[in-house]
Amino acid sequence: MWTNRVFPQSQGADVDLVSTGLDLHTPLDSNKKGCPTGRCVLIIFLVFVIVGAIATAISLGILFGIPAKPNSLSRACKTFSTYNGFLCDDRATCLSASLLCDGKTDCSNGEDESKEYCGNLPISLPQELVFKCANTKSWTYINKVCDSRNDCGDCSDESDRFIFKHDASEAPDKPLTVTLAMSLFSC
């Protein structure tokens, strides 16, 4: 039976490594190999590639700017009069298009008067809320079409004939838009 024995040593005496069985040039566990193997080199290489890719992505983000987060909140809704409307942040209030950018806050958070929608009319408005008149310089809100008022100035918003045009192959996610049949005006 093996026992651990402690041999007292005098102060200042050198330890004899040969008598202890330790060799400074061999690893303690001779079954394990050191790191300089093909596997270890591969792992180090992969770590450098991953760190380089992350650094490149951060550099490109700083250089070109991080893209703005798209507005994931859909604002489309139908009003009681079945026109396209503007959905407020509370997800319960659906405003008629003409209530947008009218100088009066109708949504509880004021998003109907925000610069995002009112900054560059009519381009900044959701396009499903805009009617483009035959006079290409004029527009009106979609709920002002066929209201017996000449909002366009050329009666195109009060014409008897509208073409509902939607080409699903061009933009399947775009809502139905109303364009004017140029042949007939009647106010």
Domain boundaries, the chain: 76-180
pTM across the whole model: 0.50
Question: Is residue 110 within 8 Å of residue 118, measured between CB atoms?
Answer: no
* Residue corresponding to tokens 């604002």: 75
State yes or no: pLDDT of 14 exceeds 70.
no
Nearest alpha-carbon partner for 175 in 159, 164, 162: 164
Question: Residue 65: which pLDDT band, with cuts at 50, 70 and 90?
Answer: confident
pLDDT of residue 70: 54
Within a 10 A sphere around the Cβ of 93, how many other Cβ atoms? 15
Please list, in sequence order, all residues whose beta carbon lies within 8 angstroms of the beta carbon of residue 108, skipping any fewer than 6 positions away.
Answer: 88, 89, 90, 93
Per residue in 17-46, pLDDT tens? Answer: 455 555 555 554 545 556 666 788 888 899
- Return the minimum-mean-pLDDT range out of 84-98, 133-147, 163-177: 163-177
Q: Which residues pair with 77 in a beta bridge?
A: 85
